[in-house]
Structure 1
Amino acid sequence: MSAESHAFDLLPVVSLLGAGVIAVAVFRRLGLGSVLGYFAAGLLIGPYGFGLFTDPQSILHVAELGVVMFLFVIGLEMQPSRLWNLRTQIFGLGLAQVGSCGAILTAAGVLAGLPWMVAFIAAMGFVLSSTASVMQLLDERGETASTRGQKAVSILLLEDLAIVPLLALVAILAPATGEAHGSSLLAIAIGLGAIAVVLVTGRYLLNPLFRILAASGAREVMTAAALLVVLGTALLMQMSGLSMAMGAFLAGVLLSESSFRHQLEADIEPFRGLLLGLFFLSVGMALDLSVVASDWRAIAIAVAGYMALKAAGIYVVARLFRDSHGTGLHRATLMAQGGEFAFVLYSAAAAVGLIDGKDNAFFSAVVILSMSLTPLALIALRYILPSSTPSLDGVDVADDLHGTVLIIGFGRFGQVASQSLLARGIDITIIDSDVEMIRSAAEFGFKVYYGDGTRLDVLHASGAPHARAILVCVDDPKTADRIVELVRGECPLTRLLVRAYDREHALRLAAAGVNHFIRETFESALRFGEMALRVLDVPEDEAAAVAADIRRRDSERFELESTGGFGAGRDLLLGNAPRPTPLTTPTRTAKPLSPETAAVTAGDGAGERSH
């Protein structure tokens, strides 16, 4: 009897899981997305639904770890150099959007009759978009890595940073004690010190730590260490008064160039997904329907007005920063809602007496409803704007494939490369992200699956870990580099063959440890030159010998350049340097070329382009 009285109550856990699983499945089936499904499930089982949970705030505090882990995963994708390249978008576009939207919403609140201080707090809370909602919606649509997705991420980072001065401002505006100004300055100093600690620790301690743990061979220890890094950094930031999510993001950025990056991402992913779903559930539970029922007209006007004004401000800023009409509308719709940081700001303002409890509940309800309406607004936008993404009707998505060879990219290069493998009866799997090309290939009997090779989950679904060889045939060097990075991190023993865009790209691939690569125009241009010599009545063996000599010179020069000997490579190209041992022994010996002839025929420099 005693054992039964102390048994763990599984009903809340089963309720959360059951509501989330069923609601998300139904809502995604209806095309409404998982975020809205989680909100609806939370509302259904919360204190204003079936009442299975009476304290949603306690769940929300735990579920915020989902946002923390989400930002850590985003940080893993943001190398410091990439983050530095986004500085203009973060502090230019981000500041412009936050400042302009804050001014517009504050003015609207004052015109609606609110005291200026209350209007300012309400506006700035609503300006901080929901990082969790926006990132989840971008992820579901595969837009996180796109240009418009990267700009949205930049703005979200600035908004995460903005919560720090806003909380300090709340302390300054509080009904004053003489210590308010000094305490806010101290809070800022503590926050900066915490950031410095994270940067130093991440720079000098994390990589050695993970190397030691990896040597132990215990997978569960690596998982525990990954959680320790995320939660420890979040705790440090929370104790210093900063955003937990920002701390996790910084930790991710510092580990983004680590050789353990993909392992960390794989370890965190299950926790991230589960806790992020729990976060959306708890936000749905937190919607106080009694407040909505008692003042529904004012709340409806506030939700519609704030979302419309914020969307207008976002659109104007986007156009001023030379974004297209479609991109501006997309960002305005995606980020028109308030976010989780509004709850923090409103609670802090209520605690020091800047707003009362009724205002806190009212503004929190406005934010939650705006978060719930965003997925619906994005669906409506699809009917307003012409679709930029072709329908996948009739196209199979890569899922649980197991080919001997995986080909990524099936343009003109991949089509030719595949023919030799097919001629020998080798089992190949082909993926591409161009839907129209997939349909065209099907008309000629090729089975091509839809999949983005720059995503780790797609590579797994396409059978990359089981393939004997992976052929990267995409025509964009940055995309090829990203795929190479993922494959080298996840499948280090798989043979990797890559289409190089030009010499500069080939040098990067050599440095990345790619097994085999070929510049897409070099061999065809060499054959073309050999044909030109024959047309000019040069004997066939001499034309072939000239081509062989050029191929050998290029191989030797590439070897020198790949090891840093650019000057020696140029001398070799011009015939002014002793020749090292060739990488491949030429079958013929050509007559020596004049420096002028060699300079014209031997290279395909970084400016090479194919059409």
Structure 2
Amino acid sequence: MAAEGAPPFFTESIIFLAATVVAVPIAKRLGLGSVVGYLAAGAAIGPFGLGFLGSGEDVLHVAELGVVLLLFVIGLELDPQKLWRMKRDIFGLGTAQVVLTGLTLYALCFYYGFSTEAALVAGFGLALSSTAFALQILQERGQLSSPYGQRSFGILLLQDIAIVPLLAMVAILAPHEGPSTGQDIAIEVATIVGAIGAVILAGRYLASPLFSFLAASRAREIMLTAALLVALGSAGIMHAVGLSMALGAFLAGVLLAESSFRHTLEADIEPFRSLLMGLFFVAVGMSLDFSVLVDNIGTIIGGVFAVMFVKGAFLWALTRGSGSSNSDAFRVAVTLPQGGEFAFVLFTAAIGAQLLTFETANLLNSIVILTMLMTPLACLGLELIAERLKKSGVENPAIETFEEATPTVLVIGFGRFGMMVAQIVTSEGLEVRAIDNRPDRIAYARKLGYKVYYGDATRADVLAAAGADKAALIAMCIENDRVMGQSIDLIREGFPNALVFCRATDRAHSLELTRKGVDYQIRETFESSIAFGKAALESLGTPAERVAQIEEDVRRRDEERLALQLKEGIFAGADRLHTVTPRRRSTDVAPPETVT
């Protein structure tokens, strides 16, 4: 317990933080990933380790919010059209994996002495993979958007949905005093449908106007509060009717995926998600009972290898048979062979329904935790094999689809300047993403068919969420010189591979951008002023040849003046402003015409 006078959980928080600060970097250095570090930290400080903390069950209830926020963020990254395109992986591949794996593990459990009811719960509970664990691995390796990453996500999503009928199975298998009436079932179904409808309607018609209203206040903390409210509120509605909280948060995220605030919401939620996900894995590690592990070491090791082999074999066969390459099928197989966090939920419900004893559930929980620990080792082994194959000349191409090869342009600032830039870039068929911090401008652009998102260009997390890490070129079209300067510094530091093209508001700003070393910059009125002056001369009767000569000379003198100003200050080179362009003599060779 915390010392007298200290805030509640103060000492416990210090122990949590110290353990993770030590364990996670070591695990990352060994190539095992941060998740193994969190699990090891929890096992070390938990009641079955060094005993610094008591049961992790209370912590787990709070830490499960990390899974909720993870699914909300994943939902933000999927628009409904993309989700519909994944229906084959979700409902076909995912359902086949759960059913086939569950029945096979059920048969094994039944063979080793489980009752029919206990074997069903154990088999299908072990058939579920860890959404939190697998997605964390995919995100750390930058593979979530890859073909095999998307197929893995489709399977995981179906497994999250599957927890609902599996919990219903536990209720059906449990001994009842009397059967449920048809009216009770109808009321329960109507309640579930009503909850799902409420989340859909709120996400579709209320969330975006709410965020538009709050964005006008320019109060970041209010936007953050609203983001948490939407994620946790939708999860709470689903939980109230007996559905998965993670599923409710995911649904809310999908409904907001086409909102102009998706990138800001993602950036705001991410720190809370990361912290709570770490806490979740620490709590899972704390629940690993070493006495059960020692007393049943043979059974547990056999169970770990049986679960991972059965799941891995079915995952490889199903993904291979449904069109994936052999390498992608193996990647899916080594990413999803572990037990999942929903297995803990299912086994706990089975204890309450008297289908599993506490000792059996503890045994199954140990198997689940050890499969989690083994998964990064399996991934590491596959990477080593792939590296050897690569050295032997067998190598997969880095770009597997033409869509991935298409460069993207991130436009920051979508006023009249940014809109014209976007129009030109999209005319070549390139993908354009755009962010702005004015809700009225975003609403206007969306009415014209542009997908523009709300975002602060001075936040590296927002730039990353908007796709700056994947952009081939970043077009800085904002009016505020100070904001542009801060954003350029962030881009140069965090996304050095992107070309940076800038709109300069005036001559002083142009000089500043030149000093920052941007790839291209232009004063916003320079070209329009040149065109205006040429039109004036033509209207006054100046020959076209003379107008072209003047334009060439003015551009040359402007470049000379900029070079002088970089060295001597803003007032240098003033003499270049008032020089009359010498007339070209008839003996002079005219410059070649520019083909436009």
Question: TM-score, normalised to structure 2's length?
Answer: 0.66
| Distance change in 2, residues 1:140/1:7 (3 Å) | closer
Q: Does the 8 Å CA contact 2:235/2:248 hold for their aligned counterparts?
A: yes
Q: Does the 8 Å CA contact 2:267/2:465 hold for their aligned counterparts?
A: no
Where 1:143 maps in the other structure, the secondary structure is coil
Q: Which amino acid aligns with 2:14?
A: V
C-alpha distance in 1, partners of 2:197/2:388?
45
| Distance change in 2, residues 1:495/1:320 (3 Å) | farther
TM-aligned CA deviation for residue 34 of structure 1: 0.5
2:79 aligned residue: 79
Q: Which amino acid aligns with 1:309?
A: V
Q: Which amino acid aligns with 1:291?
A: V
| Distance change in 2, residues 1:51/1:153 (3 Å) | same
1:236-275 aligned within 5 A:
236-275=237-276
C-alpha distance in 2, partners of 1:94/1:181?
32
Q: Unmatched 5+ residue regions in structure 1?
A: 391-407, 412-452, 470-482, 497-515, 517-586, 591-611
C-alpha distance in 2, partners of 1:85/1:64?
29
Per-residue displacement from partner, 1:2-38 (whole Å, max 9, x unpaired)? x953644521111111111221111111111111111
Higher RCO (CA 8 Å, separation ≥ 6 residues): 2
Q: Which amino acid aligns with 2:89?
A: Q
Per-residue displacement from partner, 1:186-239 (whole Å, max 9, x unpaired)? 444432221111001111110111111111221110010001111111111111
| Distance change in 2, residues 1:383/1:460 (3 Å) | closer
1:355 aligned residue: 356
Q: Does the 8 Å CA contact 2:71/2:246 hold for their aligned counterparts?
A: yes
Q: Which amino acid aligns with 1:262?
A: H
C-alpha distance in 2, partners of 1:75/1:52?
37
1:100-499 aligned within 5 A:
100-180=100-180, 182=182, 186-386=187-387, 456=465, 459=468
Q: Which amino acid aligns with 2:55?
A: D
C-alpha distance in 2, partners of 1:270/1:102?
35
Q: Which amino acid aligns with 1:88?
A: R
| Distance change in 2, residues 1:87/1:409 (3 Å) | closer
Q: Does the 8 Å CA contact 2:125/2:347 hold for their aligned counterparts?
A: yes
Question: TM-score, normalised to structure 1's length?
Answer: 0.64
Q: Which amino acid aligns with 1:49?
A: G
TM-aligned CA deviation for residue 184 of structure 1: 5.6
Aligned length: 422
1:29 aligned residue: 29
Q: Which amino acid aligns with 1:212?
A: F
C-alpha distance in 1, partners of 2:221/2:75?
22
Per-residue displacement from partner, 1:399-456 (whole Å, max 9, x unpaired)? xxxxxxxxx9999xxxxxxxxxxxxxxxxxxxxxxxxxxxxxxxxxxxxxxxxx9953
Where 1:205 maps in the other structure, the secondary structure is helix
TM-aligned CA deviation for residue 291 of structure 1: 1.4
Q: Does the 8 Å CA contact 1:168/1:184 hold for their aligned counterparts?
A: no
C-alpha distance in 2, partners of 1:69/1:495?
37
TM-aligned CA deviation for residue 383 of structure 1: 2.6
TM-aligned CA deviation for residue 157 of structure 1: 0.8
Q: Does the 8 Å CA contact 2:266/2:465 hold for their aligned counterparts?
A: no
Q: Does the 8 Å CA contact 2:49/2:290 hold for their aligned counterparts?
A: no
C-alpha distance in 2, partners of 1:105/1:293?
23
C-alpha distance in 1, partners of 2:64/2:473?
34
TM-aligned CA deviation for residue 463 of structure 1: 12
Q: Does the 8 Å CA contact 1:45/1:53 hold for their aligned counterparts?
A: yes
C-alpha distance in 2, partners of 1:458/1:200?
29
Q: Does the 8 Å CA contact 1:168/1:187 hold for their aligned counterparts?
A: no
C-alpha distance in 2, partners of 1:588/1:284?
70
Q: Which amino acid aligns with 1:363?
A: L
| Distance change in 2, residues 1:495/1:254 (3 Å) | farther
C-alpha distance in 2, partners of 1:308/1:156?
18
> Which segment is superposed worse, 130-139 or 343-352?
343-352
| Distance change in 2, residues 1:4/1:343 (3 Å) | closer
| Distance change in 2, residues 1:302/1:93 (3 Å) | same
2:69 aligned residue: 69
